[in-house]
Amino acid sequence: MRRSKEDSEQTRAAILDAAERMFCEKGYAAATVELISRAAGLTRGAFYWHFRDKADVLAALHARTFLPQEKILTGVIASDTPDPLDCLFLAAAEALRSFEVNEGEQRIFRIMSDLTIGQDGREAVARIHAEMRALIRTVMQRAEANGTLNPRITVAEAELYITVTIGGLLAEWLRSDKCFPLALSGERLLRHLMTMLRTDQGAAPRARQCDSPRPPGPDPNSVLDIRCARAPKTKQALPQR
């Protein structure tokens, strides 16, 4: 039995971990509070001490995973690079690498595509997704203003293509039970995509200077380490009694 303050935080984290696993395995609706608690080596008493109900853990899970990533991604876009498309490519490749090794991210991705997570949960997911699309769109707008974007491709189109490709990669990788190297294959596909977004492929084969002009400045990868992005506890549902 754990009774000290820090042990309590440990218990809370254990419940979050267990909930993440159970939500991912059984789905949100089918993951019982009893199941989660037992998976954490506890009883429902502990669960209801730390969380108000199942929706509360989901929100906590969401915050624990996405809040740090959001900050990092918005940091990526802040960098004012001369080659926005290449910057986006590097960020996406790094995101794939991170996803490939981080089982927590994988579980959250699965959980958040669950239909049973309820209205507020869905809204939270939609918000995150809209932010990511807005970020990509901003990059594309810069590329357009920059002249690096293929003039025959709309900003909206380019934004869509990137979104579709990355989302499709993650989903297919998980569904296929990780039967291909996500980062490697994804990087190749994305590189092709980026090339297409740059050059005019339709009729006029203009001067190609596609993915060579990377500035020899500080490696953008150094900023992009999303590995092990775990925030300390945030919210606490005060027990009533």
Partner DNA sequence: ATACAGACAAACATGAATGTATGTAACGCC
Partner DNA sequence: GGCGTTACATACATTCATGTTTGTCTGTAT
Q: Is 33 in the site for DNA (CB under 7 A)?
A: yes
- As measured in angstroms, the least distance from the Cβ of 215 to a second copy is 17
For residue 194, the number of C-alpha atoms closer than 13 Å in the C-beta half-sphere is 25
53 binds, among a second copy, DNA, none (CB under 5 to 8 A by kind): DNA
Note whether 239 and 49 are within 8 A (CB). Answer: yes
Is residue 225 helix, strand or coil?
coil
Q: Is 115 in the site for DNA (CB under 7 A)?
A: no
The C-alpha atoms of residue 232 and residue 132 are separated, in whole angstroms, by 23
Check residue 36 and give left, alpha or beta (phi > 0: left; psi -120 to 50: alpha). alpha
Q: Is 2 in the site for DNA (CB under 7 A)?
A: yes
Q: Is 48 in the site for DNA (CB under 7 A)?
A: yes
* Helix ranges (DSSP H) in the chain: 5-26, 33-39, 44-50, 54-78, 84-101, 103-112, 118-146, 155-175, 182-198
Q: Is 154 in the site for a second copy (CB under 8 A)?
A: yes
Q: Binding mask 49-68 vs DNA (x if CB under 7 A, - otherwise)?
A: xx--xx--------------
Q: Is 127 in the site for a second copy (CB under 8 A)?
A: no
* Among the listed residues 79, 195, 214, 223, the single contact to a second copy using CB under 8 A: 195
The C-alpha atoms of residue 88 and residue 140 are separated, in whole angstroms, by 9
Q: Is 209 in the site for a second copy (CB under 8 A)?
A: no
- Judged by CB, which is closer to DNA: 44, or 214? 44
Q: Is 21 in the site for DNA (CB under 7 A)?
A: no
Which range touches a second copy (CB under 8 A), out of 52-60, 64-72, 82-90, 189-197?
A: 189-197
Note whether 182 and 169 are within 8 A (CB). Answer: yes
Binding site for DNA (CB under 7 A): 1-5, 7-8, 11-12, 32-34, 37, 42-46, 48-50, 53-54, 240-241
